[in-house]
Amino acid sequence: MHELSIVCSIVELASQAAQGRSVRRVTLEIGKLSGVEPQAVAFCFPEVARGTPVEDATLDIREVDAEARCDVCGAEFPTPDMLSACPCGSRQFQRLRGEELNIKSIEVEEAA
């Protein structure tokens, strides 16, 4: 379960970004072909965040659909799995989206 180490890194980065303040929300983008299970991230988050500035934060996970551009015909098309092909039949393409794992935003309490 590599999601545990990923969540540890997210909590550490969010805590550093908060600079001593409480984190209100962490927003993630997780590509559907990233190999990261959003449910596992959500499961680990509260436990890892306990006792940190991120403890009471809301975790917002946005799943990113996978898309590619065909090298042959130039069409952009969804790639729901790693074995997808372009509607033209080609398997030569460049992934545009769907493999990312990003911290999109970290919202912190206003400084007193």
pLDDT tens digits, one per residue of 12-50: 999 999 999 999 999 999 999 999 999 999 999 999 999
pLDDT tens digits, one per residue of 41-85: 999 999 999 999 999 999 999 999 999 999 999 999 999 888 899
Annotated binding-site residue? 44: no
Question: Which secondary structure element, helix H or strand E, spans residue 10, and what is its range?
Answer: helix 3-18
Q: What is the rounded CA–CA span in Å between residue 76 and residue 83?
A: 16
Annotated binding-site residue? 70: yes
Q: What is the rounded CA–CA span in Å between residue 22 and residue 15?
A: 8
Q: Give pTM, 2 decimals.
A: 0.88
CA 92, distance to chain mean position in Å, is 26
pLDDT tens digits, one per residue of 76-97: 999 988 889 999 999 999 999 9
Residue 2: burial class (beta carbons within 10 Å; 0-12, 13-18, 19+): exposed
CA dihedral 10, 106, 22, 57 (to 10 degrees): -70
